[in-house]
Structure 1
Amino acid sequence: ILIANRGEIAVRVIRAARELGIKTVAVYSELDRNALHVRLADEAYALGGSTAAESYLNTEAILNAIEQSGADGVHPGYGFFSENADFARAITAKGVAWIGPPPEAIDEMGDKVSSRKAALRGGAPIVPGTTEFVTRAQEIIDFGNQFGFPVAIKAAYGGGGRGMKVVQNADDVQAAMDSAQREAKAFFGRDEIYVEKYLTWPRHVEVQIVGDKHGNVVWVSTRDCSAQRRHQKLIEEAPSVGMGDGIEEAMGEAAIKAAKAVGYYNAGTVEFIYQDGEFFFLEMNTRLQVEHPVTE
């Protein structure tokens, strides 16, 4: 297995592979030449360059390392190429196993609007919102009048609170929309947005799922990640407690429905928001998450 990553996650994958008697291949940038993951792997190949773009995000360099090492599987870890469907396709095109979900699932769940459609298709509840991109301020005002303010304008291809603006009334819509689009374009290179009802005091709960290639998906545990600063998670704990009878089980079943809707396999995380006894699908992370050890 070649691990197309560095640091903590590369070390974890190497350790797990070693327990299974599988040989590992590390790749590294110039700056990571003496890093722990390089020393622990059975083989290591230089990608060249010192920035991520020159090394861990350099498809050609990684494909060369696969060729040189004869690796027959690639583990992307998290970050870098882990949610890049084109990279996954480039790996499988070489006849090498991609240790991740199907590229089609990455595509569909990678865009917040199509992921909401997939969740609906699978029968998972979603927050009231648009299932198409919003292009005019009037659409947002009409939505707010129908479902009530506040509403959240969100970047369709974003995350981490970037490109998200909460609007309290119709007068602020145009400015917030412009701001959300500028931010989305700057951070994610795309400025498509959508709108949804803004829940004022929800809990943020995610469900760890694992699927195989025979259509079986199980949920392993919930993680409560409500303690956040600027939409970035600070503390996570498992399981999520105090949600009321049967809520955790229902959330787990909804996560399985969302995953099955896109033919998901491998590890993934389905995120929900929970408020006043109700929960709604938020998004899916089509990779192993940094926080998976909390569940383990």
Structure 2
Amino acid sequence: MTEKMVSFLKHIFIENIDDFDIDFEMVSRDRFKRDQINMVIVKKTPWKYHLLRQFQDGLNTIEYPYLLRFSYIVRPTMDDLVKLLDDWYQTLYHIPHNFELDATNESFLKVIYENEAEKAQYGQIIKDFKDFLDFLNYEFSIVEEVKPEEKEVKISESEMRKIVKKAEKEAEQLIEEESLLTRQVIERSDVEQLIETEKLQLNESTEEAMLKLAKQNAKEMARDRERARLNKRGNYEPVESIDDINKNSGNVDFSAKVFSVEVNEYGDRKRINLGLFDDAGGAVYANAYQNTSINDELVTEMKKWGTN
């Protein structure tokens, strides 16, 4: 740092001179305005805001007209810009800002607002910050953007009726298949990975989501009818989830999905072993023997399940 810069810093009441990596690149009297001093100050590194604020406070004590311009040996980065904006805003307004910043592009900083009202709230503040960057000679652009409004997807009544009808049919078939099985509890961890894999593979459209909801409602109604039918034939106790089953449980009735099927034939008789899991993450193995209710047609359908 030259003696001229040291003298200038002392003149504007800055005593911690070693904290400032700045020097004069040029100092001259303006040729057209003889009472004005033009200065170009070169800085080795980008500004830290607390030192910049101290330097600005010192400039405010200058009593003669002047024109000041900065240059930098190490060009400021996008991270430097974001840090400067955060510190500048919090110093002036005493709270952090609420808008979102996208600093993925090294040429410009994107300010993203949630809605037009937020843009109106912060628009003048961002304009002031742009002027501040011009004073510092930071060569960045700031782009403002408002998030698009989410559009509501509407389904006609006729389409909804089709979805509900299809869901009811599939749900009733599923309940009838589940009612033929007995249950044996297995470990939850054996099927958790299968459940997560299935979730990752699903990318439901709006119609599929509505179908799922309607199917669940229809499934509940079909389950109630099936429970009433079974209770006429035996003492079945409804349970909410597989985890509620223990060694003291008798005949139980609950809802689950099939994740594996195995059919073993012993002469003319067939035994069906199924793996089931419910929405709570519990799982069971269940088996049943062929009888008048479990005929060849149903056994054939069960074999198809096992290949899915």
- Same fold? TM cut 0.5: no
Is the helix fraction higher in 1 or 2? Answer: 2
TM-score by length of 1: 0.20
Q: Which protein, 1 or 2, shows the higher relative CO under an 8 Å CA cutoff with sep ≥ 6?
A: 1
Larger radius of gyration: 2
TM-score by length of 2: 0.19
